[in-house]
Amino acid sequence: MTTIVNAEVLLGETQPQKPRRRRAQKPLAWIAEHIVLVALAVLFLAPVLFVFLTSVMTTNQTLTATILPNPWTWANYLDAFQKVPLLRWFGNSAFYAVGSTVLMLLSSIPAAYVLSRIRFRGASIIFVAIIVAMLLPPQVTAVPVYVMWSKLGLTGSLLPLILPNALGDAFSIFLLRQFFLTIPKEYSDAARIDGNGEWGVLVRVILPMAKPGIAATAIFMFFASWNDYYGPLLYTSENPQRWPVAYGLATFRSIHGTNWGLTMAITMLVLVPVVVIFFFAQKVFVEGITLTGVKG
């Protein structure tokens, strides 16, 4: 049983049939609860606010303990593009994230389809293997995989992080399978009677019906690669030409010493694509998270 239906309730987009009257709650308790919520909300937003305020300070001012920028300056954002190879970092991140996502979708959707729709001997072993592969720390397999890529001469590039997705990503297969299982079997069975082969059923029935699930899985993959630090550290640290933005940001502050204003400007800029994607795809995204926490 999954909780995917509840995501809609969560989003407040499906109103309950009967307008539910606010429970006869004590007004004092209501006020207390909201005071706590507002206080927490301020604490949760404060870090981003401080980062932003620092990003519009002059370098000199960031060296003093002040909160409000005086004078207000956008110079750090200009510097971020002029003094730092930020565009190249963004390009590398986009290459990594888009490449991984596309390859993952091509390889993982058919596999998830098979695991959700077809019973065959060995299916459960394959499924358990996928779960284990998904949950095991990547460090466990890092040494032999690194040796493999270095023998192929591909270390120093992002390819060792992108190419494996052409051979399926365990977490994505798991998540897609969970989504596919929520589509009633009757639809695929009916399509089979109409003479569709497995690919026909997948393309004509499952894909159109599982669009939100596929979108959520794609976004997870995109974010995971966009945010990845360990992978680029392992494979590209010796080659600054191939640094993605997450890795570049981590090393930047080390190289440029105490330039907090510039560092915070870059930090804000790294956030932008992620936040934009989130707001465009909030609904499928929240459904996806809910589904990763499938109930037992």
Partner 1 sequence: MTSTAANPGRAAIAVRPGQRRARRRRLLVVFGMLAPALLGLAIFFVYPLLASVYYSFTSFNLLSDPVWIGLRNYQYLFTQDPNVGTAALNTLWFVAIMVPVKLAFAFAIAGLLARARRSNGVWRTLFYLPALVPPVASVVAFVFLFNPGTGPVNLILSWFGISQGPLWFNDPNLSKPSLLILAVWVMGDVMIIFLAGLLDVPRELYEASSLDGANGAQKLRFVTLPAMVPVLVFSLVTGVIAALQYFTEASVASAVASGQATVGGGGSLVAGYPDESLLTYTQWLYERGFSDFQLGYASALAVLLFVVASLCLVFLLRKVKAFMPEESSL
Residues 83-112 that bind partner 1 (CB under 8 A): 107-108, 110-111
The minimum distance between CB 237 and partner 1, in angstroms, equals 5
Within 207-226, the residues that bind partner 1 by CB under 8 A are 223, 226
* Among the listed residues 75, 170, 203, 281, the single contact to partner 1 using CB under 8 A: 170
As a whole number of Å, the end-to-end CA separation of the chain is 8
The minimum distance between CB 111 and partner 1, in angstroms, equals 4
Q: Which two tokens stand for residue 201?
A: 């059923």
| 114 lies in the binding site for partner 1 (CB under 8 A) | yes
Write b or e for each residue in 93-123: b if 16 or more Cβ atoms lie within 10 A of its Cβ, otherwise e.
bbbbbbbbbbbbbebbbbbbbbbbbeeeeee
| 281 lies in the binding site for partner 1 (CB under 8 A) | no
The minimum distance between CB 185 and partner 1, in angstroms, equals 9
The minimum distance between CB 5 and partner 1, in angstroms, equals 9
Q: Minimal CA–CA distance to 249: which of 268, 235, 224, 234?
A: 268
Q: Which amino acid, one-letter code, is at 195?
A: G
Residues in Cβ contact with 168 at an 8 Å cutoff, skipping those fewer than 6 apart: 104, 107, 108, 111
Gyration radius of the chain over CA positions: 24
Q: Closest CB to partner 1 among 22 and 71?
A: 22
Q: Which amino acid, one-letter code, is at 237?
A: S
* Among the listed residues 14, 31, 39, 66, the single contact to partner 1 using CB under 8 A: 66
The window from 37-45, 70-78, 82-90, 204-212 that contacts partner 1 (CB under 8 A) reads: 37-45
| 251 lies in the binding site for partner 1 (CB under 8 A) | yes
| 263 lies in the binding site for partner 1 (CB under 8 A) | yes
Binding residue count for partner 1, defined by CB under 8 A: 121
The minimum distance between CB 257 and partner 1, in angstroms, equals 6
Site string for partner 1, 145-164 (x = CB under 8 A): xxxx-x-------------x
Distance (Å, rounded) from C-alpha 53 to C-alpha 51? 6
Site string for partner 1, 121-150 (x = CB under 8 A): --xx-xxxxxxxx-xxxxxxxxxxxxxx-x
| DSSP 8-state secondary structure symbol assigned to residue 1 | -
The answer to whether the beta carbons of residues 212 and 286 sit under 8 Å apart is no
The answer to whether the beta carbons of residues 115 and 207 sit under 8 Å apart is no
The minimum distance between CB 79 and partner 1, in angstroms, equals 16
Helices (H), 56-138: 59-62, 75-82, 86-117, 123-135
Q: Closest CB to partner 1 among 88 and 253?
A: 253
Cβ neighbours around 287 below 10 Å, total = 23
3-state secondary structure at position 119: coil
The window from 69-77, 94-102, 204-212, 267-275 that contacts partner 1 (CB under 8 A) reads: 267-275
The window from 63-71, 75-83, 84-92, 203-211 that contacts partner 1 (CB under 8 A) reads: 63-71
Q: Closest CB to partner 1 among 50 and 74?
A: 50
